[in-house]
């Protein structure tokens, strides 16, 4: 749960930075090379946050998922009845 709070804080901070960038640069067509680099950094940061979110979602799904069923239930209990 702490990881989720950190991820939300990272996203909130990135949202603020992105809003500030958009406010200071209303015309994307007129960005300098330095400003374009800053925009790429914001985009990359968003991709990384999205990847972290996906990773955490998969971790939570695995944690909540029931254990997989054995292919042959009798095999798990009685090894002698398994065909190898």
Other CB atoms within a 10 A radius of the CB of residue 42 amount to 15
pLDDT of residue 11: 96
Mean of pLDDT values over 40-69: 86
Name the pTM for this structure.
Answer: 0.68
CA distance 68 to 28: 51
Residue 84 contacts residue 53 (beta carbons within 8 Å): no
CA distance 43 to 28: 14
CA distance 43 to 60: 26
pLDDT of residue 80: 47
């Amino acid at each position: 749960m702490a990881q989720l709070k950190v991820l939300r804080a990272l996203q909130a901070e990135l949202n603020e930075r992105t809003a500030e960038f958009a406010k200071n640069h209303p015309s994307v067509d007129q960005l300098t090379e330095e400003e374009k680099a800053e925009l790429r950094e914001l985009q990359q940061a968003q991709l990384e946050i999205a990847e972290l979110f996906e990773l955490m979602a998969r971790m939570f799904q695995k944690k909540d998922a029931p254990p997989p069923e054995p292919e042959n239930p009798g095999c798990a209990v009685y090894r002698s009845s398994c065909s190898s």
